[in-house]
C-alpha cells in the first residue's frame, strides 16, 4: 500500500478538514490526538501503511475519560474489537465497562435502524446527559431539508397541487418523538390524540395543499367536527414498555388525511384504522373518521386581523371583577377529578383568572420543546391548554357537572402565526359565547371563543366558536376502541339453521364404503353390520396402521376411538389419532390428484358446547388442537384440500365410553350432508370460501364453533383499584421460567403474602433475562415471601406432598433452606410447559408425552389433589397458561396445540362443577418465555407478540371481570394469517374473515399505505409472462430462503440451505412459500432433493415448463 500513500495525502489535502470536535484515540499513533492533527494530510496517509496500535489506543482512551463508567461500542457484525478491548482493560480497577456491538451477522441495518439502536444504547448506558434529559434530538438536521408536519404527510398533500385529482388520500406514521409528547394527553387513563391536534393537522394540510407560508398568508377553518377519539397506544409488543426509541422512528400509529377540492375551499378529513393495541394490518374495523372540516386561505389576512390586544388592561379588568382564580396545581386537580389526567407536557396552564363569562389564562411549555415539535402550527400542548382553561370557565358556571368537557366542534378558526416561533409563554382570552342569553347545560355543554396571543401580545390565532360538550367514559373510549379489540378472543358455539337438524338419511343409490378405526370391541363392530345406515358398510381395522390402505377405495375414513373406547389418559388417545393421520399423510404426495375422502375423527362429550355443560370426557379435547394443526400440514403436503372433520357427538351420560347405534346414525347424517354439498360443505362469503371442520351434536342439532371478540375490556382494568393476589398465598408452576417469574413479580407488586415457585429442578436461572427477573424478585420484593419448591407437577405424588406441607403451615425454601410459615393456598398459576416442535410426520407418542406431562398431566394433578384434600373452598384463582396455538393451529406444533386444548377444556370442566378456573390462550410473550424464541416464525405465520405489561393487564382484567373462562390473547395479522388456507378457510373464522375482507377493501380505497415486501405478493404472477422466467423463479426461491432464515444477505446460489440453518420446520415453511408464490406442487422432500438455490431453480423451471406444455 506504500505506493498509494502520496495519492491519499493529495486527496486529503484538497478536503477542507476541520479540527476534531471529539476526543479521538488513534489506533495508528497509539495516543489521543491533538484536535489539529485531523487536519494533517500525512495523518490520513499513514493509515495505509503503519501498524495498528490497538492496545495503546484503548489504554489512551481509558486514561482520557474522566469517568468511572466507559462504554465501548463496535459498529460491525462481529464482537472482535470489543472482545479484545475487554481483555486489555480486564485488569483495570475502578472502572465499570460495557462492551456493545451495533449489529449482528447477516442483519439488515439501515440508517433508521442504526439511529434507533444508538438511541437505545444511550439510555442503556445511562449517560449523565441522558439521565438529566439534556440531550435533544434534532430532527431538522440540515437547513435544506424540509421538515414535514408531525401528523400528516405534507409532501403528498403538496403533490396534490395541479395533479388534476380532486381527491387525495395520504397516510403518515406518527414518529416516536411526537407520539411521546402526545401521550401526555391522557383521558380516563388512556392516551388519546387531543381534539385540537386534528385542528392543527388541518392547518398543516392547508399550508401544504396551497403551497403558502404562514406569515405571508392566513388560514381559515370552518365547520370543524371532532367525532371520534384516536387512541395513541402502539402495537401489543410495545404497549406499556419503557423502551427508549429514537424520536425519528416511525411508530405503529398512523393517521390518514383526505383532501377534496371544492372551489376556493377544500374539504379535509382525518381518519385511521388504528385500534387500541392493534396495528393497522391486524385491525378488523373499517377506517374511522375522527375529524372533518373545510380549509381555505384568507383573502386579505392583514385586513381580517383584529386590533391588538392590551394584555395588561385585560388582566386588570378581569382581576377587578374576578370570581375565581386557579393556580396550575389547582387547575389540574380540578380537571383530574373529571377524568382529564394530563401528563407534564399537557399541563401548560400557569394561572387562570375568571370573571363572569370571561377569563384570561397564562400558558407556558413545561418541557424543553424539541425541534421536531416546532413543525406544529399551533402546538397541541398550548392550544389544548386554551381548551382546558375554557372547560374550567364552563365548569365554574356548571359546578354539578362531574364529567369531562371535550371539544366536539369549532368554526371560524383563523391563524396568523405559529407557536413554534413565538417563544415558550402565551396568553389566551376565553369568553362564553352568548353569555346569559345562551344557557349552559350538562346535556348541551357550552360554546366558547378563544383568542391566543404570544408573550409579546402578538395575535397568533382566533377560534370564533368552539363547542365543549360533557362526555362519559364510554363515549370517549367505546368498546370498539378498547385495547382488547383485535387482541382478546373467545369461541362461541353457534347453532346451525333448521336445515342442519340431524335426520336419518335417505337410501343411497349405492353403498357408501366406510373405513372405521378405533372400533376395538366385537359389540361395537357388529353395530355397523346391524344398523341400517343407508346401506353403508363398516369395515373394522385393528390399530391405526393406514399404510396399506388405498384411500380412493373409500367414501370416508373414520376414527371412532373417542366415542367407543375407554382411554387411560390424554396421551394415549392423542397418540392414537396422530398415528392414523400420519398414516394417511404418508399417502398424500404433492403430485397426486386422486380425491381424498373425508377423514372424520369422532368423539363423544369431549367439549362443553352449551353454557354450563359438563364435558363427559374432557381429556379427549386435545384432538381439536391436533386436527387444526394437522389439516394445515396435510394440505401443504398434498397440495390440495384435505377434508378433515372433527365430530363431537352427544355423550350418553355414562362415565365410561358407551357406543350406541344413535351415534352411527348421527355420523351418517353429517356425512350425508357433507357428500350432498358442492363443494363439500364449503360456501363462499365475502370472497373467501369457508368449510366446516368442527361440528358438535347436542339435542339432535348441529353446532359449529365461531371465533369472535372477547367481551373483556382492558382500559377500565388498567385503572381499577383492586389488586389480584393482595395478601394471598399463590403457587406458580414453571415458577423459575420466564413467564413464571414475570407473574411472580406482578403478584409481589400487588402485595401477595407468599409466592411459591414450583420447578422440576428447583435451580434458579443463572443467565439471560430470566436470571435478571430472578434477581429483581429476590432483591426488590421484600414484603413478599418467595419460596422455591422442587416439584414435578407431572407426578401426582409430588403435588400431594407439597399440598400436605402447605396444609401443615410451613415450607422450607429449596434455594435458601429457610423455614417459612404459610397461610392456606388461595391461588394457582399454572405456567409449566415445554416445546417439542416437529413436523406432523416426525411426531410420535414420545413427543406428545413430553409436552403433555407438565401442561396437561400437571393441570389435572393439581385439580385432583385440590379436590382430594378439600382445598377448593379457599381457592380464588386457578389460572392455566394455554397457548393460541391450540386456538388457531400452527404447523410443526401439533402436540403443543393438542396439549393446550386439553387444559382449555379442563377450565370449562371445573367451571361446570362450580370451581374457579381460567385458561388464557397466550400469544408469544416477546420479552421472554418459550414463545419468545419463536417470535420470528410466529410473525411470519400472522401471529403478533405481546409485551409483559399488556400480558399482565390481560391477566388482571380476566380475573377481575371474571366473565369468560377461556380467553384468547393473540394479536393476529390477518393479511398474513388467512393465506395459509390456500383452498378453504375453516368456518370457525367466518365472522372474523368477513370483517377482515370489509376492512381490507376500505383500507385499500382510502389509504396509500403499502405493505412491506412479502413472498406471497408474487402469488398471482404468471411465470410464462416473465421476460426471464429463470430469474423470476430464482428470485422467488432466494426470497423464500431469506424469509425463513430471517437474514437479509448471505444466501448464495450454491450454498446448501440446510447448512445455513433451515431445519425440518423451516423446510416446510420454505416449501409452502414457494408453492404459494409459483402455484406449483412440491413434495415434502424438495429441499433434500435439491439442496441449493441454483439446483432448486433448475428443478422448478423444468416443472413449470412441463406443466405449461401440458396445459397447452
Concatenated DSSP letters of 16-44: -----SS--EETTTTEEPPGGGGG-HHHH
CA 205 to each of CA 209, 264, 450, 766: distance values in angstroms, whole numbers, following the listed order: 6, 15, 22, 55
Answer whether 220's CB lies under 8 Å from 298's CB. Answer: yes
User: 786 pairs with which residues across the strands?
Assistant: 755
Grouping H, G, I as helix, E, B as strand and the rest as coil, residue 1071 is helix
Grouping H, G, I as helix, E, B as strand and the rest as coil, residue 452 is strand
Angle (CA) 1064-1065-1068 rounded to 5° is 90
Question: Please, what is the end-to-end C-alpha distance for the chain in angstroms?
Answer: 62
Answer whether 502's CB lies under 8 Å from 700's CB. Answer: yes
User: In three state form, how does the secondary structure of 1015-1067 look?
Assistant: HHHHCCCCHHHCCCHHHHHHHHHHHHHHHHHCCCCCCCCCCCHHHHCCCHHHH
DSSP 856: I
Q: How far apart are CA 1086 and CA 1070, in angstroms?
A: 10
Q: How far apart are CA 533 and CA 527, in angstroms?
A: 10
Segments in 29-110 forming alpha helices (H): 41-45, 54-64, 80-88
Answer whether 811's CB lies under 8 Å from 787's CB. Answer: yes
Q: Is the peptide bond before 417 cis (omega within 30 degrees of 0)?
A: no
Strand 827-830 relative to strand 819-821: parallel, antiparallel, unpaired?
unpaired
- Selecting among 185, 396, 559, 1032, the annotated active-site residue is 185
Q: How far apart are CA 432 and CA 449, in angstroms?
A: 6
Q: How far apart are CA 184 and CA 366, in angstroms?
A: 12
Q: How far apart are CA 276 and CA 957, in angstroms?
A: 16
Cell of 856: 396437561
Answer whether 371's CB lies under 8 Å from 207's CB. Answer: no
- Selecting among 384, 454, 576, 798, the annotated active-site residue is 384
Q: How far apart are CA 872 and CA 914, in angstroms?
A: 10
Residues 484, 489, 495, 499, Cα dihedral to 10°: 100
The string over 842-876, giving b where at least 16 C-beta atoms fall within 10 Å of a residue's C-beta and e elsewhere, is ebeeebbbbbbbbbbbbbbbbbebbeeeebbeebe
Helix, strand, coil % (nearest 5) of the chain? 40, 20, 40
Q: What is the CA radius of gyration of the chain?
A: 34
Q: How many residues does the chain have?
A: 1112
Residues 6+ apart with CB under 8 A from 474: none
Residue 658, Cα to own-chain centre: how many angstroms?
45
Answer whether 663's CB lies under 8 Å from 562's CB. Answer: no
384 given a catalytic annotation: yes
Q: How far apart are CA 832 and CA 854, in angstroms?
A: 6
Answer whether 313's CB lies under 8 Å from 320's CB. Answer: no
Residues 950, 951, 954, 960, Cα dihedral to 10°: -110
Q: How far apart are CA 331 and CA 129, in angstroms?
A: 32
310 given a catalytic annotation: no
Which active-site residues does the annotation give?
A: 185, 384
Amino acid at each position: 500500500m506504500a505506493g498509494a500513500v502520496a495519492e491519499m495525502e493529495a486527496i486529503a489535502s484538497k478536503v477542507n478538514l476541520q479540527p476534531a470536535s471529539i476526543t479521538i484515540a488513534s489506533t495508528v499513533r497509539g495516543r489521543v490526538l491533538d484536535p489539529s492533527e485531523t487536519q494533517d494530510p500525512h495523518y490520513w496517509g499513514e493509515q495505509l501503511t503503519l501498524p495498528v496500535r490497538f492496545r495503546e489506543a484503548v489504554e489512551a482512551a481509558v486514561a482520557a475519560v474522566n469517568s468511572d463508567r466507559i462504554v465501548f461500542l463496535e459498529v460491525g457484525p462481529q464482537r472482535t474489537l470489543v472482545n479484545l478491548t475487554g481483555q486489555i482493560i480486564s485488569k483495570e480497577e475502578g472502572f465499570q465497562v460495557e462492551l456493545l456491538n451495533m449489529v449482528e451477522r447477516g442483519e439488515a441495518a439501515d440508517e433508521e435502524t442504526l439511529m434507533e439502536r444508538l438511541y437505545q444504547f444511550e439510555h442503556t448506558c445511562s449517560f449523565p446527559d441522558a439521565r438529566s434529559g439534556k440531550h435533544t434530538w434534532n430532527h431538522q438536521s440540515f437547513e435544506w431539508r424540509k421538515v414535514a408536519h408531525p401528523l400528516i404527510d405534507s409532501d403528498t398533500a403538496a403533490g396534490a397541487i395541479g395533479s388534476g385529482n380532486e381527491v387525495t388520500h395520504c397516510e403518515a406514521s406518527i414518529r416516536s418523538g411526537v407520539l411521546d409528547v402526545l401521550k401526555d394527553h391522557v383521558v380516563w387513563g388512556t392516551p388519546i390524540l387531543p381534539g385540537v391536534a386534528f385542528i392543527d393537522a388541518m392547518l398543516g394540510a392547508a399550508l401544504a395543499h396551497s403551497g403558502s407560508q404562514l406569515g405571508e398568508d392566513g388560514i381559515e377553518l370552518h365547520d370543524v367536527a371532532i367525532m371520534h377519539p384516536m387512541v395513541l397506544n402502539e402495537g401489543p409488543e410495545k404497549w406499556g414498555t419503557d423502551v427508549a426509541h429514537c424520536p425519528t422512528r416511525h411508530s405503529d400509529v398512523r393517521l390518514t388525511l383526505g383532501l377534496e377540492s371544492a372551489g376556493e375551499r377544500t374539504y379535509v378529513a382525518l381518519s385511521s384504522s388504528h385500534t387500541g393495541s392493534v396495528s393497522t394490518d391486524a385491525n378488523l374495523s373499517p377506517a374511522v373518521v375522527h375529524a372533518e372540516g373545510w380549509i381555505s386561505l384568507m383573502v386579505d389576512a392583514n385586513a381580517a386581523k383584529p386590533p391588538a390586544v392590551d394584555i395588561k388592561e385585560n388582566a386588570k379588568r378581569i382581576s377587578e371583577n374576578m370570581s375565581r382564580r386557579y393556580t396550575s396545581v389547582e387547575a389540574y386537580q380540578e380537571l383530574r377529578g373529571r377524568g382529564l389526567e394530563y401528563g407534564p407536557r399537557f399541563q401548560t396552564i400557569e394561572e387562570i383568572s375568571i370573571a363572569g363569562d370571561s377569563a384570561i389564562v397564562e400558558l407556558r411549555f413545561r418541557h424543553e420543546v424539541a425541534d421536531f415539535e416546532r413543525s406544529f402550527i399551533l402546538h397541541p400542548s398550548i392550544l389544548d391548554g386554551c381548551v382546558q382553561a375554557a372547560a374550567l370557565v364552563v365548569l365554574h358556571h356548571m359546578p354539578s357537572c362531574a364529567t369531562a368537557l371535550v371539544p366536539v366542534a369549532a368554526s371560524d378558526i383563523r391563524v396568523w402565526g405559529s407557536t413554534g416561533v413565538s417563544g415558550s409563554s402565551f396568553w389566551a382570552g376565553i369568553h362564553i359565547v352568548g353569555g346569559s342569553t345562551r344557557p349552559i347545560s350538562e346535556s348541551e355543554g357550552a360554546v366558547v371563543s378563544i383568542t391566543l396571543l404570544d408573550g409579546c401580545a402578538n395575535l397568533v390565532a382566533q377560534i370564533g366558536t368552539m363547542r365543549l360538550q360533557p362526555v362519559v367514559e364510554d363515549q370517549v373510549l367505546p368498546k370498539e376502541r378498547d385495547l382488547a379489540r383485535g387482541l382478546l378472543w373467545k369461541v362461541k358455539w353457534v347453532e346451525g339453521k333448521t336445515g342442519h337438524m340431524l335426520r336419518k338419511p335417505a337410501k343411497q343409490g349405492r353403498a357408501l364404503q366406510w373405513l372405521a378405526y378405533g372400533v376395538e370391541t366385537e359389540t361395537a363392530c357388529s353395530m355397523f353390520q346391524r344398523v341400517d345406515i343407508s346401506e353403508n358398510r363398516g369395515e373394522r381395522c385393528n390399530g391405526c396402521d393406514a399404510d396399506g390402505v388405498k384411500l380412493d377405495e373409500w367414501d370416508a375414513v373414520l376414527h371412532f376411538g373417542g366415542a367407543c373406547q375407554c382411554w387411560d389418559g390424554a396421551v394415549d388417545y392423542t397418540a392414537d389419532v396422530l398415528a392414523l393421520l400420519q398414516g394417511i399423510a404418508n399417502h398424500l404426495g404433492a403430485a397426486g390428484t386422486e380425491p381424498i375422502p373425508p377423514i372424520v375423527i369422532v368423539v363423544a362429550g369431549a367439549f362443553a358446547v352449551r353454557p354450563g355443560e359438563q364435558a363427559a370426557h374432557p381429556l379427549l379435547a386435545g384432538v381439536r388442537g391436533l386436527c387444526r394443526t394437522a389439516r394445515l400440514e396435510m394440505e401443504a403436503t398434498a397440495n390440495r384440500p384435505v377434508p378433515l372433520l372433527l365430530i363431537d357427538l352427544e355423550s350418553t351420560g355414562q362415565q365410561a365410553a358407551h357406543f350406541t347405534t344413535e351415534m352411527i346414525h348421527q355420523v351418517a347424517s353429517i356425512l350425508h350432508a357433507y357428500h350432498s354439498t358442492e363443494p363439500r360443505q364449503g360456501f363462499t362469503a365475502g370472497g373467501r370460501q369457508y368449510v366446516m371442520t368442527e361440528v358438535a351434536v347436542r339435542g339432535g342439532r348441529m353446532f359449529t364453533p365461531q371465533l369472535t371478540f372477547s367481551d373483556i375490556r382492558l382500559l377500565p382494568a388498567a385503572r381499577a383499584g383492586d389488586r389480584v393476589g393482595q395478601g394471598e398465598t399463590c403457587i406458580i408452576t414453571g415458577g423459575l421460567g420466564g413467564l413464571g417469574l414475570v407473574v411472580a413479580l406482578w403478584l409481589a407488586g400487588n402485595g401477595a403474602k407468599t409466592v411459591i415457585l414450583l420447578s422440576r429442578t428447583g435451580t434458579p436461572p443463572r443467565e439471560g433475562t430470566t436470571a435478571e427477573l430472578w434477581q429483581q424478585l429476590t432483591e426488590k420484593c421484600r414484603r413478599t415471601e418467595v419460596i422455591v419448591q422442587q416439584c414435578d407437577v407431572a407426578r401426582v405424588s409430588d403435588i400431594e406432598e407439597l399440598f400436605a406441607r402447605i396444609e401443615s403451615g410451613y415450607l422450607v425454601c429449596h434455594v435458601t433452606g429457610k423455614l417459612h410459615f404459610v397461610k392456606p393456598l388461595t391461588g394457582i398459576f399454572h405456567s409449566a410447559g415445554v416445546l417439542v416442535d416437529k413436523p406432523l410426520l416426525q411426531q410420535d407418542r414420545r413427543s406428545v408425552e413430553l409436552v403433555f406431562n407438565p401442561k396437561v398431566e400437571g393441570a389435572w394433578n393439581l385439580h385432583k389433589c385440590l379436590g382430594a384434600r378439600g382445598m377448593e373452598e379457599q381457592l380464588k384463582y386457578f389460572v392455566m397458561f394455554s397457548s393460541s396455538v391450540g386456538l388457531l393451529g400452527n404447523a410443526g406444533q401439533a402436540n403443543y396445540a393438542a396439549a393446550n386444548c386439553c387444559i382449555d377444556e379442563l377450565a370449562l370442566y371445573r367451571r361446570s362443577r362450580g370451581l374457579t378456573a381460567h385458561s388464557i390462550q397466550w400469544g408469544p410473550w416477546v420479552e421472554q418465555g418459550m414463545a419468545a424464541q419463536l417470535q420470528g416464525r410466529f410473525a411470519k405465520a400472522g401471529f403478533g407478540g405481546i409485551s409483559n405489561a399488556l400480558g399482565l393487564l390481560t391477566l388482571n382484567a380476566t380475573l377481575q371481570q371474571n366473565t369468560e373462562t377461556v380467553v384468547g390473547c393473540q394479536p393476529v395479522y390477518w393479511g398474513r394469517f388467512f393465506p395459509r388456507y390456500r383452498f378453504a378457510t375453516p368456518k370457525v373464522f367466518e365472522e372474523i374473515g368477513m370483517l377482515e375482507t370489509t376492512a381490507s377493501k376500505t383500507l385499500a380505497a382510502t389509504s396509500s399505505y403499502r405493505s412491506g415486501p412479502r413472498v406471497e405478493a408474487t402469488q398471482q404472477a404468471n411465470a410464462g409472462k416473465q421476460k426471464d422466467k429463470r430469474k423470476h423463479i430464482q428470485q422467488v426461491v432466494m426470497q423464500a430462503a431469506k424469509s425463513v432464515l430471517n437474514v437479509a444477505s448471505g444466501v448464495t446460489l450454491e450454498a446448501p440451505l440446510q447448512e445455513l440453518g433451515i431445519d425440518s420446520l423451516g423446510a416446510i415453511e420454505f416449501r409452502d412459500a414457494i408453492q404459494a408464490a409459483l402455484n406449483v406442487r412440491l413434495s415434502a422432500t424438495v429441499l433434500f432433493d435439491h439442496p441449493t438455490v441454483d439446483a432448486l431453480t433448475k428443478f422448478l423451471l423444468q416443472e413449470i415448463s412441463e406443466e405449461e406444455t401440458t396445459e397447452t
